Structures are given as structure tokens and as C-alpha cells.
Structure 1
Amino acid sequence: MLFFTPVTASPSSGDLTDAGYVALESGDNRMAKTLFTRALDTGGQNSPLAWAGLGKALWNDSSSLNEASYTAFNRSLECVNASSEDWNAVFMVFFNEPVNDFELAYSAGLKALEADPEDDVAWNYFGCVIDGLAHNNSDADLNEPFDAFKKAMSLNPTALYSGNVAYYAIVTGNYSYAVEITDQAVEYYSPDEWSKGTLFFLKALALAETGSSEEALENIELSREAYNSDESFEWDEYFYATDGMVSAIALNDLGRSDESAEILARIDTDKLDDYMQGLLFTPERYMDLYGVALSGLGRTDDAATAFEKSLEYNIDYIPAKNHLDNLNQKISQ
């Protein structure tokens, strides 16, 4: 009988990189650093995924400096001839917590689109990062993320992409288009319950903004039913607040101030800036809606306080200014 020593093939750079991300997911940053370093030493110097993974492992290691992380991140962006799928993965490293660097994510997004201009995932990611950058730039062209989301949807119509398009249709004032897109997605794209809830919610908002208040309230109910049918969905302050805002827009319009005030009073208004983010849902608008409801109930002092609180969040918020001026004029008469 012949005996021989089994030979185990050395892992490739790609295998080591994949293992590094598994280690990251498990929270073993030391092992992740080792694996990514081995990947780079095993022919992976041109792997943006390996460099980005190493940067994230360094970032997660409290004993490391962020400077070392950014050295690795920037090396990842110097890589060439990578696939759009790899760049999409790098994008997610940069875009998500704990890195959350939109400038790096923007660069990775551009590289993904350069690698494959027909990659719907890359277009959707690119829309997300432009949206993130727009939050901190009052001069941002909001048609840019809108166009990116529409491009993703044109390449691969899905409920997810439709929701993003509908959101930006509302942001840019294209309310009828938002209703059209949400209806189309619910009917043709087989959304899961969570996505269906989001689509009904966005449709409700678009309808509320145009004064179709009764229909808006009907869609809010459909949204709640869909969300509640998803066992993984959990109501939290953000969902209660945004749901309440859309309901309040419609209820205030219908003169149902008591219901509007009751809904808005459920949220701790001192913590609005902790969970009210985005271009549509802001603390100043929440407090303005609350003020309108309180004013409708004849609670003028409370309404004035709400309008003033709105202006504390944003001194230039015109609706609150106008409502407070009108209220003061009414009081002085």
C-alpha cells in the first residue's frame, strides 16, 4: 500500500477576502485584519474589497487610528479593473455604519457605474449617497438622486426602486407621479408586506400634499395593515412620528383637529431631532402640524408654543412663521 502526505491548496486572495468579511461580521477584527493582510499579500494588491475590508477592520479596532483606516480606504479607490459588484460591496463598507463616509461612498459609486453603466444596484446605491449628501447641502440639486433612482428602476423595475422614486417624486413636488409609481409597484412588482406598507405610506403622503385627504387616510390604514402583517416589522419612534405626520396633514385639512393633536401628542417632541431625519420629515414640520391642530382646538397658547418650537428647529421655516403671525393677529383682534 502506498502512503502519501495530502496537499492542501493555498487559499486564494479572493477566498481570504471572503473569510475576512465573515470575520468582520462575527466581530473578530483581529482575525479580519490578518485575513485581509494575507489576501493583499497573496496577489490581492489590486483588490478594492480587500483594502476596504482592511480599512474597516482597522476602524473597528479601538487601538488603531482612523488615519490607518483611511490609508486603506484610499488604496481601495486606487484599484483598477474591478467589477461593478466589487465596487458596490466597497460602497456599502463606506456608506454604512461605522464608517458612514458619503464622500468615499460617492467615489466608490462612480467607479461602480464606470465599470458597468447598466448596473441597477449601482444606480440605486448612487442615488442613496447623493441623497445623503443632499441632507447637508441646501443648494443640492434634488433631481440628481431622483434621476439615479429612476435609472435604477428603468433597468430593473422593483418595489424597492419604486419606493425610492416615489419618495423623490414627493421631494421634488411630483405628487401625481408618486401616486402613479406606487400604484404600479403594488400591482405589478409583487412587493413583500414591508415594501407594500412603504408604498401605501408614500402614496398617502403624496395624496395628503395635494389635498386628497380622505384617500390619504385610507392609504395610511392600508400602510399600517401591511406593516402589521410583516412579523419582522417593529413600530418605533420614527415610524410613529412619520405616520403621525402624514395623518396630521390630512386630518388638519379635514378640520379634524382633535384626532390630529391626539396622534401627534404620542411622540416626545423634545426628542424629535433624534429620529426625524430626511428631506420630507423634519422636526420643524412636525411641530408646525402640531401647532395647526392645537390652534384648531382653540388652544392658542399651546399652538403658539408649538410654532415657536418649530422655528427653534429652523428659523427660516415659512409655514410656521405664517401660522404664528396669523395666530398672533387673531389673538390681538
Structure 2
Amino acid sequence: MSTGGIDIFGLLFIPTWVAVLGLGVFAYLNSAALLVYAERRIASFIQNRVGPNRVGPFGLLQPVADVVKLLLKEDVTPAQGFKRIHAIAPMIPVITAIMSVAVIPFGEGLYVTDINGGVLFILAVASLGVYGVTLAGWASNSKYSLLGGLRAAAQMISYELPMGMAVASVVLVAGSLSVVEIAASQEHLWNVFINPIGAVIFIIAAFAEANRTPFDLVEAEQELVGGFHTEYSGMKFGMFFLAEYMHVFIGSILITTFFFGSYHLPFAGYWLPELDPLVKGILDVSVFMGKVVFWCFVFIWVRWTIPRFKYNQVMKLGWGRLLPLSILNFALIAFGMYAYTHWF
């Protein structure tokens, strides 16, 4: 657990882990509402439409109206479905998304806990989200929902392997499984410059893990009505909606942390002077969140630019292209690190 704390002008002392946990949970829970609004506005700009502009100034209260609408909708459970599992399934992706905040550093010393296997913890927690989708499809007792759940399982398993190999190449460069140490190791040079192939593989896999276009086969409303959440309504449906945007936010955080310098400015170790701890903390969090917001924009941008892949294209890309490329990239990084350590 992170030691120390944040002294706010001598008036208030907050333990670091409490501040970071509060910041992380607040950001995660509000990311969905902000991203829904941002997606609608950006989509309308790309397609030369107006977008939400009626509820509140500039349509800023539209997410609030959406939540109220979902709360007031009737909660319908299939008569032949498995009611308890049907109710529990939407909670799983949201809970697993929030769990990842524990090992993410938002700045120098700004993290809840630093465990030796932080990378393994993130990969394990991220892989649990598929259970919520699969159980939702099965518990609905509908063939359309079941097909959507099975598609989710197949897609996520397919892309977790190249994602894991891309992260393994990052671990080789940093020499540690600690997410905090991986972030700290990029003070002088970001991993994207050392490992660009791994960065591209990880970004593509992050899109697939978040079920975002062009990998949104899990829903595929033209083929499966509504996919795994066909039989969901009200806030149960809203939980899946929340989880999707939270995973976009988490994907952006992981891309930033593993490849784009985390909270470090470009080449910060060479030119950034020593700063007051409070100023340094504010700068670190601002830089980190700025990068995360940029990658959230990229997620939205891609959705409204690239059409959905076919199922066979998704499987071919995952197993036939990304997995062999990720293994080759891992071997090249391993050879490069060995050569750098022993020959230079």
C-alpha cells in the first residue's frame, strides 16, 4: 500500500491510498456518463448532425435524463430464465472494472497498492468481465442471447492471448510485473518508442476486449436482435451500458500506463526539474488524465469511422495475425533486451 499522504496547504492531510481510491472510483463511475455525452457529440460532428442539445445547456444533462429514464423503466425478467443469475450477471463487469483501480498509478506515489504481480492482477480481473456477458446470455434462456454470450466468450479469449503477449513484452522491458514500476520506468523513454509493435497489438486487443466497433459482434443487433442483453431492461440493461463505457475508460488507462508513459511527459527525466510534491501530484494526474481522455476520443473516433468486421474476419485477425505477430514481437524484445544487457 502506498505510504505517505497529501498535505493540502497544511489544512488537511489525506493518506495517499484514500485519495487515489476516491479519485479512481469517482473517475470510473462518472466515466460512463461523460463518455456517453462525448460519444454523442463527437458522432454528431463526424456525421454532420446536431447531437443532444435540448436537456440542459449544450445537452450536458442528457446523461442524467438517460439514467432517470432507465430507473423508471419496468424491470422485466424472462419467465423461463434463471432469475438470480439474470440479476447478478450485470453486476460482474462493473465490479471487475472497479477492481482494477487498486494497482493503477495516477502519479508518482499516487496509487492504492503496489503488488509484485500487478500486471497479472489486471489481466486476471479484466478476463472476469466475460463471465457477466456469458452468464447473461445463458440465464436469459433465449437463443439470441445465448449466441451473443458465446460470441463474447470466443472473442475475448481470442484477443486476451495477443494482449497478454503484448503486456509480457512490456514486462521484459521494465524488468518487473509491478504496474507502478512499469510506469516509473518510462520517465526517460516511453515504451511505445521501444516496443511499437506491442503497442499496436495491445490497442487492437483493447478494442476487442471492450466490444467496441469494429469488434462489437457481441451485440450485432442486425443478426442477434440485441445480443446477450436482449432480455434485459431498466437499470439491469443500464449496468451493461455502464460496464461498456467503463471498459473503454480502463482500456485507455492501460494503453496510457503500459505504452504511453503513464503520468510522465515526453522525455521528462531529461528536462523536468524537481517540483513541490503537491504541484508534482497535480501535474502527474493532469498529464495522466489528459492521455486517457485522448485515447477515449480515439475509441469513439474509430467507432464512427470503421464498419463492423464479420465473425470470420475477427477470428482470423486474432488467431491468424495478432497472435503469431505478438509471439514474434515478444521474441524480438527478449533478444533486444539480452543484447542490450550483455553486449552494450
- Please tell me the TM-score bracket, short chain as reference: under 0.3
TM-score, scaled relative to structure 2:
0.25
Q: Which has the larger radius of gyration?
A: 1
> RCO greater where, 1 or 2, for CA within 8 Å and sep 6 or more?
2
